[in-house]
Amino acid sequence: MSLPASLIRPQEDEYLNCIRCGLCLAVCPTYREYKNEIASPRGRVALARKGLDGELELSPNLIEQMYACFDCLACDEICPVGIKPAELAVEMRHVQEKLNPAGWKNALFGGLVKVPGRMELATLPLRLYQKLGLRWLVYTLGIQKLFPGQLRDMEAMLPHQPTRPLRQVLPETTPAKGESRQRVGFFLGCVQSLMFAEESAATVRVLARNNCTVITPKDTTCCGMPAAGYGQMDLVKDHARTNIELFENSTVDVVVTDCATCGSMLKDYGEILADEPEWAERAAAFSAKVRDVSEFLMSIPLEKPRGRIEARVTYHDPCHLRRAQKVWQQPRELMQMIDGIDFIELPESDWCCGSAGSQLISHYETSLKVLDRKMENLKSTDAEMIASGCPGCQMQLTTGIKRRKLDVEVVHPISLLDRAYTCGETAE
């Protein structure tokens, strides 16, 4: 079956140059669990090639192999000839979506996720579940033990819900505590606003404390990563244009995000819109300004906190922070600035935790297999805290910790820095 000539599809050099060396097998989390060629990057490249060349039908089963990829980018990083199997798997999802569009995806990512107010309304039941004491009751009575396993794990991954989404309460302009040295745009991510409001509030406090005037546009839309993961590239471009224009109007020196996933996508806007004459230059200029919060803080004169945090701390590298953004030293350096922290490296810290956005929902068994290995590594550190700069990773780690009944707190590195600043003020 030949594909329509008008269909935008991966280029031949994205899959024909695979030399089948097998290096990707050694770093792929799904292959490690199943030892099955189809569950490997090399296998997915072969399937994509045969599908694109018309030797195989782009059937639901073939495309399912593309969705089984965690997009952790380990295979992209290790390939000696530049094949990017993870990127190819995502592109194949886009091909399938163009051939057989699923209405629910457009409704979800274009109708719900795109509009912050709708997301806030959709997650209201979760905040009521927390605020009305229903969650406390569920755990006190042990009702969660009666839930089916997947539902129990999905409930366990929910962090403590904020009373209100941060977007509703965070000022658009937060003045610097001292002399303002930079005008920083803060990209408030969807999950950060809805699930990790206190963490992002801490990010703004830390930035302001370090002589930054923080501008938080309230009308930012989703970065686009969820839509990209489900083949909705047209929506990704739409999200990108909206966000670029918002920050252009804010006239900021740099755009900071405390979400690894958001940062990865925002830094790709220049490439995503490179073929659109009206937007290419603007997108490239925007992406050049984007920094992960740890990356940014370690590039400026950062005030050393006076407070101490007496804890044994380890760190899990989010895939889209370490591999996509090449940011991995800065979070460690930031945490080791804090007196009292006994930092210990997590074995296989750069291996995927099994979240990959929605894998705990869409590929439950595989997600748990990968998570279990991460928990074994965490247990070996005897850490009291595990830090990570991605909300998806944090929720996945929380699920694993609850499943294993480990006494470990999941934190964002910036939250630790904010605590140390606060402790220092209290001590004074």
pLDDT single digits (tens) 359-416: 999 999 999 999 999 999 999 999 999 999 999 999 999 999 999 999 999 999 999 9
Which tens digit of pLDDT belongs to each residue from 28-42? 999 999 999 999 999
Architecture of domain 308-427: 3-Layer(aba) Sandwich (3.40)
pLDDT bucket at 423, cuts 50 / 70 / 90: confident
| Most distant pair of Cα atoms in the chain: their distance | 73
Q: Is 72 helix (H, G, I), strand (E, B) or coil?
A: coil
Computed over every residue of the chain, the mean pLDDT equals 95
Mean pLDDT of 77-92: 95
CATH numeric code, 166-297: 3.40.50
What pLDDT is attached to residue 425?
A: 74
CB atoms under 10 Å from CB of 387, counted, come to 27
What pLDDT is attached to residue 210?
A: 98
Mean pLDDT of 90-105: 92
What pLDDT is attached to residue 127?
A: 95
- Is pLDDT above 70 for 426? no
Amino acid identity of residue 258, one-letter, is: D
Per DSSP bridges, beta strands 385-387 and 409-411 are: parallel
Mean pLDDT of 280-288: 98
pLDDT bucket at 1, cuts 50 / 70 / 90: low
What pLDDT is attached to residue 9?
A: 75
Which among 271, 381, 262 has a CA at the least distance from the CA of 325?
262
CA-CA distances (angstroms) from residue 47 to 33, 42, 57, 68, 230? 20, 9, 10, 13, 18
Which tens digit of pLDDT belongs to each residue from 225-255? 999 999 999 999 999 999 999 999 999 999 9
Which tens digit of pLDDT belongs to each residue from 331-365? 999 999 999 999 999 999 999 999 999 999 999 99
Residue 406 to residue 408: CA distance in whole angstroms? 6
What pLDDT is attached to residue 6?
A: 59
**pTM, full prediction:** 0.95
What pLDDT is attached to residue 14?
A: 81
Task: Yes or no: say if 21 and 27 are a contact pair by the CB < 8 Å rule.
Answer: no
Domain ranges for the chain, please list them.
Answer: 12-99, 166-297, 308-427
Torsion sign over Cα 109, 110, 115, 118: negative
Q: What is the DSSP string of 254-321?
A: EEEES-HHHHHHHTTHHHHTTT-TTTHHHHHHHHHHEEEHHHHHTTS-PPPP-SEEEEEEEE---HHH
Residue 36 to residue 304: CA distance in whole angstroms? 49
Residue 352 to residue 74: CA distance in whole angstroms? 9
What pLDDT is attached to residue 13?
A: 78
Domains 166-297 and 308-427 share a fold: yes
Alpha helices (H) along 113-224: 116-122, 124-131, 134-140, 149-156, 166-169, 190-194, 197-209
What pLDDT is attached to residue 247?
A: 97
What pLDDT is attached to residue 427?
A: 57
Question: Which strands form 339-343's sheet, in the order they lie side by side?
Answer: 339-343, 308-315, 385-387, 409-411
What contacts 108, CB < 8 A, 6 or more positions away?
A: none
Residue 281 to residue 273: CA distance in whole angstroms? 9
Q: Is 385 helix (H, G, I), strand (E, B) or coil?
A: strand
Reduced to 3 DSSP states, what percent helix, strand and coil does the chain have, rounded to the nearest 5? 55, 10, 35
CATH numeric code, 12-99: 1.10.1060.10
Residue with the bigger pLDDT between 427 and 91: it is 91
- Is pLDDT above 90 for 8? no
